[in-house]
């Protein structure tokens, strides 16, 4: 297997493991809520009134978790289809929301907030390789998570930069390192090398703003 | 009447852990809840528990590190691990590090209760 295929499979593996773990959490909540309802039903009819509110709460929890599961399954399915076409038209703001929903758990495990921003509030469309774009975004996120401490925030913002379309990766937080330390650590991490390679394959350019904790993925 | 078994349930999925606590309470247990590793460690420092049910993967301090810290002060504290992973690898690693056993999510409450009794029985024997 060539190294590029290995990297792609590793990326898919991490995304799949992450999302199936989230599905198991959802199923665990549904299982306990349904179990609690079953427990209440098994109590004598006289005690049921006492638990009516809890019974209704469990019903609502199940509905909410089903909604959460459906949303995740839909997005996961869409992600699974990213290799279908080597080029496709994507709307960047929507793509950032999609990517952040799929990867939010990686950030959550480090107590870091991940947000999709849409500063300019406009539709920005690009024709690109969807799978490679997701890989580049993933490496960008992974690199930031490897150097940022807890309670920081990462925002992915689509921007029109000069003639080009770009994604701004903006990090912030009270405990965040200085821009110099941030970029030194980023560039020393092995993930950064993966990011540079994947960006090159995508024909995208990485541009660091060394005044603060921001870098750009310029899509061509 | 015997004292109820006091169990600390640790999981960052709050709805899961509160519902599990309610179900254990209905079965005459005395459950307490922690939704992070830090909270669990500080609760164990201030309160006595018979057993801990601990999720392996949590934001911040993960389950194995929480278990290590708790066991350094309470080496005999039985710990049952919960894992949302599809493989048993992490659970087995936890057992090598001193967990009594591990259970996969979604959970079967009767299996959990059976494990709790087994862990406490083994401890007292």
- What would the pLDDT profile of A153-212 be if each residue is shown by its tens digit? 999 999 987 788 999 999 999 999 999 999 999 999 999 999 999 999 999 999 998 889
Question: Which chain A residues in 157-176 lie under 8 Å from chain B, judged by CB atoms?
Answer: none
Same domain as A207, residue A180: yes
Half-sphere CA count of B36, side-chain side, radius 13 A: 10
pLDDT of residue A41: 84
Same domain as A26, residue A94: no
List Cα–Cα distances, B30 to A43, A158, A200, in angstroms.
Answer: 19, 51, 57
Contact B23 A36 (CB under 8 A): yes
Residue B109 lies in a domain: yes
Tell me the whole-structure pTM to 2 decimals: 0.85
Residues A45-91 have pLDDT tens digits of 777 777 888 888 899 999 999 999 999 999 999 999 999 999 999 99
Same domain as A121, residue A22: no
Same domain as A121, residue A210: yes
Q: Which of B20, B60, B85 sits opposite A32 (nearest CB)?
A: B20
Mean pLDDT of A33-53: 83
CB A36 within 8 A of CB A51: no
Domain end residue (candidates: A80, A101, A135):
A80
Q: Which of A20, A27, A111 sits opposite B59 (nearest CB)?
A: A111
pLDDT of residue A117: 87
Buried-state track A92-114, b at ≥16 Cβ within 10 A, e below 16? bbebbbbbbbbbbbbbbbbebeb
Domain end residue (candidates: A47, A80, A113):
A80
Pull the structure tokens for residue A104.
């939010």
Residues B27-67 have pLDDT tens digits of 999 999 999 999 999 999 999 999 999 999 999 899 999 99
Same domain as A71, residue A93: no
Same domain as A98, residue A67: no
Q: Which of B19, B26, B58 sits opposite A33 (nearest CB)?
A: B19
In chain B, the number of structural domains is: 1
Same domain as A75, residue A108: no
CA distance A89 to chain B (A): 35
Pairing of strands A204-209, A214-219: antiparallel
Domain residue limits at B108? 6-124
pLDDT of residue B1: 54
Nearest residue of A to residue B37, measured between CA atoms: A109
Rg (CA), chain B: 13
Contact B60 A21 (CB under 8 A): no
Chain A residues with CB inside 8 Å of B23's CB?
Answer: 32, 35-36, 39
In chain A, the number of structural domains is: 2
- CATH number of the structural domain spanning residue B79: 3.40.50.2300
Confidence of residue B85 (pLDDT cuts 50, 70, 90): confident
Mutation target vs A (from B55, B84, B88, B107; most A CBs, 10 A cutoff): B84
Domain end residue (candidates: A19, A48, A80):
A80
Chain B residues with CB inside 8 Å of A61's CB?
Answer: 15, 19
Supply the ipTM of this predicted assembly: 0.83
Same domain as A155, residue A60: no
Same domain as A165, residue A199: yes
Domain residue limits at A144? 87-219
Distance between CA atoms of residues B40 and B21, nearest Å: 15
Same domain as A209, residue A104: yes
């Amino acid at each position: 297997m060539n190294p590029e295929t290995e990297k792609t499979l590793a990326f898919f593996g991490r995304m799949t493991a992450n999302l199936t773990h989230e599905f198991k959490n959802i199923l665990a909540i549904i299982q306990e809520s349904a179990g609690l309802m079953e427990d209440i039903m098994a109590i004598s009819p006289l005690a049921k009134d006492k638990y009516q509110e809890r019974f209704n709460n469990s019903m609502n929890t199940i509905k909410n978790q089903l909604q959460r599961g459906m949303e995740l399954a839909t997005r996961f399915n869409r992600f699974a289809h990213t290799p279908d076409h080597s080029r496709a038209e994507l709307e960047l703001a929507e793509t950032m929301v999609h990517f952040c929903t799929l990867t939010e758990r990686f950030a959550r495990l480090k107590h870091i907030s991940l947000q999709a921003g849409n500063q300019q509030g406009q539709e920005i469309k690009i024709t690109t390789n969807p799978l490679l774009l997701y890989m580049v975004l993933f490496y960008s996120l992974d690199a930031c998570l490897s150097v940022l401490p807890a309670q920081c925030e990462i925002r992915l913002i689509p921007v029109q930069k000069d003639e080009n379309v770009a994604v701004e990766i903006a990090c912030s937080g009270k405990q965040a390192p200085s821009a110099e330390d941030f970029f030194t650590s980023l560039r020393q991490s092995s993930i950064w090398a993966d990011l540079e390679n994947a960006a090159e394959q995508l024909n995208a350019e990485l541009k660091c703003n060394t005044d603060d904790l921001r870098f750009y993925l310029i899509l061509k | 009447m015997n004292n109820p078994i006091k169990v600390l349930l640790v999981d960052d999925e709050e709805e899961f852990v509160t519902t599990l606590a309610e179900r254990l309470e209905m079965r005459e247990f005395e459950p307490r809840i922690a939704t992070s590793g830090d909270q669990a460690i500080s609760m164990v420092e201030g309160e006595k528990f018979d057993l801990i049910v601990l999720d392996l993967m949590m934001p911040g301090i993960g389950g194995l590190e929480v278990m290590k810290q708790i066991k350094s002060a309470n080496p005999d504290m039985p710990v049952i691990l919960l894992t949302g992973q599809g493989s048993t690898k992490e659970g087995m690693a936890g057992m090598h590090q001193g967990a009594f056993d591990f259970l996969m999510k979604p959970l079967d409450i009767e299996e959990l209760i059976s494990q709790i009794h087994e862990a406490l029985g083994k401890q007292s024997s």
